[in-house]
Amino acid sequence: MNFRNIFSALAILLTLLTACSSKKSEEKKAAERKIRTKDDDKADSLLLVYNPEKGDKWIADFVDNLHKRYGFNGNMLVAKDGKILYEKAVGWADYLHRDSLKINSEFELASITKTFTGTAIMQLVEAKKLSLNDNVKKFFPNFPYDGITVKLLLTHRSGMMNYVYFIDDIWRKEKRNMKKGVTNKEVMNVIAEKKPNPYTKPDNRFHYNNSNFMVLGAIIEKVTGQRYSQYMMEHVFKPAGLKHTHVYSTTEYEKIPVDVVGHDRTWKYSVAQNFLDGPVGDKGIYSTVHDLVLFDKYLKNGRLLSKTSLDSAYKGHNKPVNGHFNYGYGWRMFDGEKMDKVVYHTGWWHGFRHIYVRDLDKNIVIIFLGNLTNGSLMHLDDLYKHFNMPIIRKGAYHGNGSLPGTDED
């Protein structure tokens, strides 16, 4: 072997060793991020301290009006710069039994779950266990659609039909068990067998629907070999100190172990869980207003994801609605040249209706978790204006950023 070949071999070996060392270093950093300390617990406790006598009077009056005039029933919280300005539990947890809500009551988060699923997917991307460009067929070879990638699922650009309506129709026609929860894997098998027509071609346009994140939930389970509930507890909930956050599926629980019940808009009936409360990823996480404040904290401080991953998750990957409203990787967002960067998500499922808003520039968190679907959360404009934040409604702004019927910039 001549010197040139020796040097080439050494160079290749050095490259391999450097790559292995770099990979181990990244894995070590990721592992260290998840380790909680007593200081974390102490800081979290201080963050969640709230004295009702010192609560923000303006917000208190706003919430009182939202309850009395528009019928808001639920828990809410507003925090700024790591301090809770106001929090309140308003109304009934279960109207039938007249159980009052408590500030630590756990709500089915509905589609706010998607923000957690997006976080888990990006963790797996960081860990090199999957790629945004991976095709669903890589994980489920019998998946009936071509060209659908992890990224298209995250951004609601897969073009898939909404499995909720499809599965509901199949279960009723075939008179299947309407109480026993159906798993993500079972839904994937039914889709493979029945091959329902998609809405549109992959990457054709934004089309929000639950199928995207149900499939992502199935991918998380396939890649990790864990139930979605296990992965989320070990890699998201525990590292962020979310002690009152759980995945509850009717595939694992005959009765969901929480006291908060979802109701229709007039209290006429409570919404019972059924087989559609089985699939997770698109929904299925239960949490509290306090834990959502901690989720915001540990996303910001890098405990859960790197800044690079967060930047990509908070980037709009669709054509903006009215020039400002967009969707990233599990996050809705408002992007304005003259206004703050805001990421948020809404939730609406089986008697629950919520909004979780994070103003990244002003460091404000606004949370409303409701268990009465009466449209009260369509009346939050004055609260956003009070903090000089964008108004979080798709129809709120024209393409130039002005409010309809106003001269605002």
Give pLDDT, residue 74.
98
Is the pLDDT at 25 greater than 80? The verdict is no
**DSSP assignment, residue 229?**
H
Q: Domain tally for the chain? A: 1
Kindly indicate the confidence band of residue 409, based on its pLDDT and cuts at 50, 70 and 90: very low
Kindly indicate the confidence band of residue 408, based on its pLDDT and cuts at 50, 70 and 90: very low
Is the pLDDT at 24 greater than 80? The verdict is no
| 3 state SS for 14-75 | HHHHHHHHHHHHHHHHHHHHHCCCHHHHHHHHHHCCCCHHHCCHHHHHHHHHHHHHHCCCEE
Residues 6 or more apart in contact with residue 123 via CB below 8 angstroms: 30, 235, 236, 304, 305, 309
Give pLDDT, residue 38.
87
Residue 391 within a domain: no
**Span 278-284, mean pLDDT?**
97
Is the pLDDT at 266 greater than 60? The verdict is yes
Is the pLDDT at 22 greater than 70? The verdict is no
Mean per-residue pLDDT over the chain, rounded:
91
**Span 306-328, mean pLDDT?**
95
Give pLDDT, residue 268.
79
φ/ψ of residue 124, rounded to 5? -70, -30
Is the pLDDT at 294 greater than 60? The verdict is yes
Q: Which residue do the tokens 């990457």 mark? A: 203
Give pLDDT, residue 29.
58
**Span 159-164, mean pLDDT?**
95
**DSSP assignment, residue 354?**
E
Residue 239 within a domain: yes
**Span 252-273, mean pLDDT?**
89
Give pLDDT, residue 372.
95
Residue 245 within a domain: yes
pLDDT digits (tens, 9 = 90+) for 337-375: 778 999 999 999 999 999 999 999 999 999 999 999 999
Is the pLDDT at 136 greater than 80? The verdict is yes
Q: Please tell me the number of Cα atoms within 13 Å of 60 on its side-chain side.
A: 10
The region of weakest confidence among 31-40, 205-214, 381-390 is: 31-40
Q: Let me know: does 92 contact 107? Beta carbons within 8 Å.
A: no
Give pLDDT, residue 398.
78
Give pLDDT, residue 309.
98
**Span 229-247, mean pLDDT?**
98
pLDDT higher at 33 or 359: 359
Q: Let me know: does 209 contact 159? Beta carbons within 8 Å.
A: no
Q: Let me know: does 117 contact 217? Beta carbons within 8 Å.
A: yes
Domain that holds residue 159: 36-386
Is the pLDDT at 310 greater than 50? The verdict is yes
Give the predicted TM-score (pTM) of the model. 0.91
Residue 343 within a domain: yes
Give pLDDT, residue 21.
57
Residue 353 within a domain: yes
Give pLDDT, residue 308.
97
Q: What is the DSSP string of 152-203?
A: HHHTT-S----HHHHHHHHHHHTT--SSSPPPHHHHHHHHHHH-PPPSS-TT
Kindly indicate the confidence band of residue 378, based on its pLDDT and cuts at 50, 70 and 90: very high
Residue 171 within a domain: yes
Give pLDDT, residue 32.
62
**Span 322-332, mean pLDDT?**
95
105 exposed, middle or buried (CB, 10 Å; 0-12, 13-18, 19+)?
buried
**Span 148-175, mean pLDDT?**
95
Residue 236 within a domain: yes
The region of weakest confidence among 8-17, 61-70, 83-92 is: 8-17
The 3-state DSSP class for residue 11 equals: helix
Q: What is the DSSP string of 86-142?
A: EEEEESEEETTTTEEP-TT--EE-GGGHHHHHHHHHHHHHHTTS--TT-BHHHH-TT
CATH of the domain at 309: 3.40.710.10
Give pLDDT, residue 406.
43
Give pLDDT, residue 265.
84
Kindly indicate the confidence band of residue 199, based on its pLDDT and cuts at 50, 70 and 90: very high
Residue 137 within a domain: yes
